Structure 1
Amino acid sequence: MFSKKVDDQISLILTSPEHANALFSLVDGNRDYLSQWMVWPPLNQKVADATAFIKRSLQGFAEHREMACGIEYNGELVGSISFNLIDHNLRKVELGYWLAENMQGKGIISRACKVMIDYAFTRLEMQKVEIRVAEHNHPSNKVCQRLGFKLEGCLRNAENLRGMMLDYNIYGLTIDEYEGSDPRHKF
């Protein structure tokens, strides 16, 4: 199973069935916060929903189509980071992430993203990492900019969030633009 220590505080672990209770509790406690930008939190109503998500993710991982990881901060599950799509034909991954509201502002997502970006380019031999962010999710847009991603465009009316149409900013980082990361993040 995949696991990577990012630094003394942060570890990434492939999400597995034993994480179902913690994952459900984390989503349940952050449902309103996460629902500002994502359609799936209201659908996660019981531990069985988290278990089903994990099983689908592990199947996708086994088929080399996706990779969902939990983010642990000082040993506690605080969020998720994933390759929502691994496209071997186009040699790109779509990176997604979320973090508990009370863990914002600690640089956790930026540090976790650096590890996943390095993994995409060095281990998966991808040519591009892409991130889709709700246009009004200012903190997440700033993460993309800090990481050196380029804004490639905006998908208008890309998703229906309980009756409100969301626009998504599409950010990309190619292997040619990638400068590498802290040696601790290397695989």
Structure 2
Amino acid sequence: MFKVVVDNEITLHLVHEAFVSKYVELTKESHEYISQWMAWPLFCKTEDDFKKFVKGSLHKYADGKSMNCSIEYRGDIVGNCGFNTINHDLKVVEIGYWLGEQYQGHGIITRACQYLIDYAFTQLGMHKIQISAAEENISSRSVCERLGMTLEGVITNREKIGERILNHAIYGLHNSKT
């Protein structure tokens, strides 16, 4: 299992079965909050569900199609971030993330995403980073803005969460060295 140190508070670990119980605990504690913006909490609740997620993620990582990481903050697993997709042909990655509600407001996601951006440009040779956030998810959109990303547009009727249909704001960042 690999891990990388982002800074003195944050470490990213490739997802691993060892973190499954913490994922279950986090999603129970923050279910209402996370479920506002993500569809998966309705379907991924048990240790078995998260074990399947980890197994699938590791297969996609081995195939070079994605990279999901657990976020460790001050010694605790607090969420997940990574490349939801890695498109080697187009030289673009899409970053996705979630964080337990009690860990919001510490810059965790911004710092983790900055590390991922640098990694994608320098290690993977990508030309573009993309993040898709629900149009009404001001916290997530603020992360994109802090990262210096450009709003490329809004796609309507992009995702259904419960009974709500959400539009997505699409942000992009291009490698200035390509």
Indicate whether the TM-score tops 0.5: yes
Q: Kindly indicate whether residue 111 of structure 2 is the aligned counterpart of residue 111 of structure 1.
A: yes
The gaps in structure 2 that reach 5 residues or longer are: none
1:86-165 → structure 2 map (5 Å cutoff): 86-165=86-165
1:2-151 to 2 correspondences below 5 Å:
2-151=2-151
The one-character-per-residue Cα deviations of 1:51-97 (angstroms, maximum 9, x if unpaired) are 00000000000000000001101110001101000000000000011
Deviations 1:8-47 (A, max 9, x none): 1110110111111111211121111000011111111211
| Distance in 2, Cα, partners of 1:173 & 1:60 | 24
In 2: Cα distance, 1:152 partner to 1:177 partner: 20
What secondary structure, in the 3-state scheme, does the structure 1 residue paired with 2:42 have?
A: helix
Moved more, 143-152 or 14-23: 14-23
One-letter code aligned to 1:124: L
Asked if the contact 2:11/2:72 (under 8 Å) is kept, the reply is yes
Q: Distance in 2 between matches of 1:164 and 1:148?
A: 29
- AA at the equivalent of 1:154: V
Amino acid corresponding to residue 124 of structure 2 in structure 1: L
- What's the offset of the Cα at 1:106? 0.6
In structure 1, distance between residues paired with 2:85 and 2:50: 19
* Paired residues of 2:27 and 2:45 also in contact (CA < 8 A): no
**Aligned equivalents of 1:100, 1:54: Cα separation in 2:** 18
* C-alpha distance in structure 2 between counterparts of 1:13 and 1:172, whole Å: 25
2:45 match: secondary structure: coil
Normalising by structure 1, we get a TM-score of 0.92
Cα 1:159–1:177 shift into 2, 3 Å: farther
Tell me, in whole angstroms, the C-alpha distance in 1 between the residues paired with 2:111 and 2:25: 24
Deviation of 1:2 (Å)? 2.7
Question: Which sections of structure 1, spanning at least 5 residues, go unmatched?
Answer: 179-187
Stretches of 4+ aligned residues off by more than 6 angstroms:
none
- 8 Å Cα contact 2:3/2:14 also seen in 1: yes
Q: 1:170: how far off? A: 0.2
Normalising to structure 2: TM-score of the pair?
0.97
TM-superposition CA deviations, 1:94-132 (whole Å, max 9, x none): 001111111111111111111000010000100000000
- Other structure's SS at 1:27 match: helix
Shift of residue 177 of structure 1?
Answer: 7.9
